[in-house]
Structure 1
Amino acid sequence: MAGVVDVLAARGGDIVGLSIHTDVSGVVDEFVVDIPGSHTDAVRALAEHCPTGTVTAVPAQRRELGDDVTRALLLTARLRAHPNRLPDALGELLLADDARWTNLTRAESADETAPGTSMLVPVGPLRGVLVVRSSRPFTWTESSRADALVRSVMPSAGPVPTDRVVRTTRGLGLSLRQVREADAPALRDLHRRCSGETVRNRYLAGMRELSPRMLRVFCDAERGLTLAVRPQGQEEPVALGHLMYTLDPGVGEIAFLVEDAWQGSGVGTALTRALTVIAADWGLAEVRAETTLANTAMLRIMRRFGASVQTQSGTYVHARLPVAEALQTGLGEQTRRGGQFARLMSQG
């Protein structure tokens, strides 16, 4: 970034704004710069300075010169008085070309526009706002901001319960409960019953025992959420599901460990569905998963839910799942039905 600043300074550029976003390709640094005369030479110099990246320049509008936080607060205050103007507010927040109401059951979707230039912001079980911007793709950070603006004016329905009962596609009832320190003996037994391959697929390394430090991480609400999974009527957990915070705004990381004897029974799919619904309740725009090529079951689940999957270093795999799109398409369901989002949120 220092090199970018040097290039701009050498051409008399005055940086009046800087935002850092994340999107599907990584990190995006967005500068608002006042450059005397034409910006063509500066863009060319930046492209030469960043040969592995992409440099895009578009004329800045007057509304882009304000502070992002101030603009968001002003929009929230305006929406308190006129909540029906939510599309206009989202369009202004995201500097979009167009924003309009859409019906989620009909799914007037991003498929009708160029990839990356539109974003669907869910507002309720049946409605959403389709936001379109042709100049540059939307980022996950912007998706998280949009969700936060919607939440600021929507009446609270209370958080999605973490302790709940869900069902697999085969109808098996699973009790999900947030882990507690008292669960330590049962969780250690669960890890001992798992094969070495299953443990490596979860932790990307061999681990003979669940350490006290790891248990503290699982129980720490500031790190995220860990759910123990028990078939209804049983006391022993057969799986663990994790939704952990990351350093990237609006992004969470999911992982799960399923006992060998229960693999292939739909537990992993049910866990992924439940954790993604909770991620939406937290206002996350994306959930990620890190695993290996050998973990074919998890890769199959993530792809079914609509995640993009990239291989790194020939062995490790990075999966990224947009939360809003996953909810809209029914979280791995093969068909889209009206009210699917509402049923998922109230399941169990």
Structure 2
Amino acid sequence: MTFDIEWAPDVVIGRRYKRLQVAPAPPTIRLADPSDVDAIVAMHERCTARSLSYRYLSGTFRPTPAQLAQLVSPAQGCSLVAVDTCVIAVANLVGQGSCAEAAILVEDSWQGRGIGTAMMRHLFDVAPQHGIDGVELHLDAGNTPALRLIRKMSRQIDGEPQWSFDGPIITFSFTTTRPRTPPGD
């Protein structure tokens, strides 16, 4: 986003203008609720087939509004949304017992800006509040941005994740109960 900002007049040159890059405010990340379902459906419609495939691990799967409503209000766990002027990302933490599956979908035009990383950190932060001490992520082996995210998360959580392959799918398992102590503490 670029704005022209007028500077004070200069007596020799007249008026000067300087082009400045203005960083927009970061999106707000908050708990999702049932009133967000329509906005989440609209966000899914703005996502490419590739992004949906990486999120749902299926070539043609586009969840129905009813399925998205179930993800927004899981029996155990939670969902988060990132909101700018509309919902631009959704993260789900769906649990059973003390373990949960985490997944994130960021609208294509917002990818590569750290939103997925911020949402994953929030999921790990809220997991213990939902009785969850283990988080699993199932990723397509070709999803390079998600693999970079796993690398970042493993530096922030005490211990490396366990992982396994099932064809093109990699499953990473993290323990969330032991946050890594920052250096110097």
> Residue deviations 1:10-55, cap 9 Å, x none?
xxxxxxxxxxxxxxxxxxxxxxxxxxxxxxxxxxxxxxxxxxxxxx
Residue 223 of structure 1: how far off its partner (Å): 4.1
Q: 1:237 aligns with which of 74, 78, 87?
A: 87
Superposition pairs of residues 1-348 of structure 1, within 5 angstroms? 173-207=26-60, 209-231=62-84, 234=85, 236-246=86-96, 249-306=97-154, 307-308=160-161, 310-325=163-178, 327-329=179-181, 336-338=183-185
Conservation of the 8 A alpha-carbon contact between 1:195 and 1:260: yes
Alpha carbons of structure 1 residues 282 and 209: separation in structure 2 relative to 1, 3 Å:
closer
Unmatched tracts of structure 2, length 5 or more: 1-22, 155-159
SS in 1 for 2:151: helix
Q: Which has the larger radius of gyration?
A: 1
Conservation of the 8 A alpha-carbon contact between 2:53 and 2:60: yes
SS in 2 for 1:226: strand
Stretches of 4+ aligned residues off by more than 3 angstroms: 206-210
SS in 1 for 2:27: strand
| Sequence identity percentage | 26
Alpha carbons of structure 1 residues 303 and 329: separation in structure 2 relative to 1, 3 Å:
farther
Which amino acid in 1 is paired with 2:175?
P
Residue 311 of structure 1: how far off its partner (Å): 4.2
SS in 1 for 2:142: coil
**RMSD over equivalenced CA pairs, Å:** 2.3
Distance in 2 separating the partners of 1:317 and 1:295 = 10
Q: TM-score, normalised to structure 2's length?
A: 0.74
> Residue deviations 1:283-340, cap 9 Å, x none?
4221111111011111211222224253423300101112134x2245xxxxx253xx
Higher relative contact order at CA 8 Å, sep ≥6: structure 1 or structure 2?
Answer: 2
- Structure that is richer in strand per residue: 2
Conservation of the 8 A alpha-carbon contact between 2:139 and 2:170: yes
Conservation of the 8 A alpha-carbon contact between 2:77 and 2:130: no
Alpha carbons of structure 1 residues 171 and 269: separation in structure 2 relative to 1, 3 Å:
farther
Conservation of the 8 A alpha-carbon contact between 1:202 and 1:257: yes
Residue 278 of structure 1: how far off its partner (Å): 0.4
